[in-house]
């Protein structure tokens, strides 16, 4: 009797959890598929279901003269992301080396401070950065966007390289030191090679976060420093430009490709999970 009631309860658990999880999965994947379907439509407007299969939006997107502003925004975004990631990797890895293995109160608080851009409203910082650079006499430029991006993407590098560092066996460092290796030699030949996958995973996440960044680009991009997300926003805002679907299709393809590559190289998802 008891056994029977229990299995009925377990059955209701399996159904409730299973159904909700299926909804969650559909909500996660569905929109991606919808975007891909939309990008292959013949229509001039966004109607569902798409009426015919065509690559016209991709052709138009890759047309160098008609889609020049999109190409320029994409180039700007890639350039900024590359430099911002380089800066974030350098600063973030150094900070991780200083902080990850310390239990001291100052180290924990500094770590929290450096992680704060993950939580603090990016828009407040974007506005603050715009006013700050304007008061210093700068005009909006890619360099300023790069500085802003670097600070908000550092948390990704800091997190993954700290995680790798905390798993690093300190006996390795001590034996390297006791065999007479200098601090820098140990760093170069022991520490960095071991934590390299963590740094690469963090760099990849940071790069994607920079490409995706809206709050800072929104305030610091100008006519000569247009960024891809801001341009796409402009394309969606007034009259919807279906080339957005093609840009989205290209982005989805690139993200999938890069994710598979990173999964192979450094076990990306495992590192994100922690």
Partner 1 sequence: MTSVLPGRASRAAGISQWLRPAEWQLALPMLAAFVAFFATPLLLLAAVSVFDDTQITQAGFAMWRKFLGDPFYWKVTFDTLKLGLMTVAATVLIGYPLALVYLSAGPRLQRLLLFIIVMPLLLSVVVRTFAWIVILGHEGVINYTLLSLGLVPAPLRLLHTEFGLVLSLTQIEMPLMLLPLISVMHRIDPNLRDAAAALGASKWRTLFTVILPLSLPGLVAGCLLVFASSTTAFISQQIIGGNRLVYLPLLIWQQSLVVYNWPLASVAALTLLVSVTAVIVVISALGRRGSRHLHVA
63 binds partner 1 (CB under 8 A): no
Which 203-222 positions form the footprint of partner 1 (CB under 8 A)?
A: 205, 208, 211-212, 214-215, 218-219
Contact residues for 258 (Cβ-Cβ < 8 A; gap 6+):
204, 208
Closest separation between CB of residue 197 and partner 1, Å? 16
| Residue from 95, 199, 200, 206 binding partner 1 (CB under 8 A) | 95
Which 129-188 positions form the footprint of partner 1 (CB under 8 A)?
A: 129-132, 135, 147-148, 150-151, 154, 174, 177-178, 183
The C-alpha atoms of residue 245 and residue 46 are separated, in whole angstroms, by 10
Interacting stretch for partner 1, rule CB under 8 A, among 56-64, 65-73, 192-200, 247-255?
A: 247-255
b/e code 202-219 from CB counts within 10 Å (16+ = b): bbbbbbbbbbebebbbbb
CB of 61 closer than 8 Å to CB of 67: yes
- At 33 the three-state DSSP class reads helix
Question: Total residues contacting partner 1 (rule CB under 8 A)?
Answer: 99
Closest separation between CB of residue 167 and partner 1, Å? 14
Q: x/- contact string, 103-132, with partner 1 (CB under 8 A)?
A: ----x--x--xx--xxxxxxxxx-xxxxxx
What DSSP character marks residue 189? Answer: I
The residues that bridge with 85 in the sheet, in sequence order, are none
252 binds partner 1 (CB under 8 A): yes
Q: Which is nearer to partner 1, 66 or 240 (CB)?
A: 240
| C-alpha gyration radius of the chain | 24
The C-alpha atoms of residue 160 and residue 205 are separated, in whole angstroms, by 10
């Amino acid at each position: 009797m008891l056994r029977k009631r229990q299995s009925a309860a377990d059955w209701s658990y399996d159904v409730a959890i299973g159904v909700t999880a299926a909804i969650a999965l559909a909500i996660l994947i569905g929109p991606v598929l919808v975007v891909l379907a939309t990008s292959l439509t013949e229509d001039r407007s966004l109607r569902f279901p798409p009426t015919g299969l065509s690559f016209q939006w991709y052709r138009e997107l890759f047309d160098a003269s008609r889609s020049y502003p999109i190409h320029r925004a994409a180039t700007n975004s890639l350039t900024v992301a590359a430099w911002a990631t380089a800066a974030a990797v350098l600063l973030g890895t150094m900070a991780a080396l200083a902080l990850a293995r310390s239990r001291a109160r100052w180290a924990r608080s500094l770590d929290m401070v450096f992680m704060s851009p993950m939580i603090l409203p990016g828009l407040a910082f974007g506005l603050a950065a715009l006013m700050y650079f304007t008061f210093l006499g700068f005009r909006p430029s890619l360099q300023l966007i790069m500085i802003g991006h670097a600070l908000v993407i550092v948390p990704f590098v800091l997190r993954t390289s700290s995680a790798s560092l905390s798993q690093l066996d300190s006996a390795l460092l001590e034996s390297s030191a006791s065999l007479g290796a200098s601090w820098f030699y140990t760093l170069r030949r022991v520490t960095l090679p071991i934590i390299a996958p963590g740094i690469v995973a963090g760099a990849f996440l940071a790069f994607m976060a920079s490409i995706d960044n809206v709050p800072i680009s929104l305030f610091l991009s100008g006519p000569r420093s247009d960024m891809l997300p801001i341009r796409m926003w402009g394309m969606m805002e007034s009259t919807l430009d279906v080339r957005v679907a093609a840009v989205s299709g290209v982005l989805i393809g690139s993200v999938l490709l890069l994710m598979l590559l990173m999964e192979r190289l450094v076990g990306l998802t495992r590192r994100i999970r922690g």
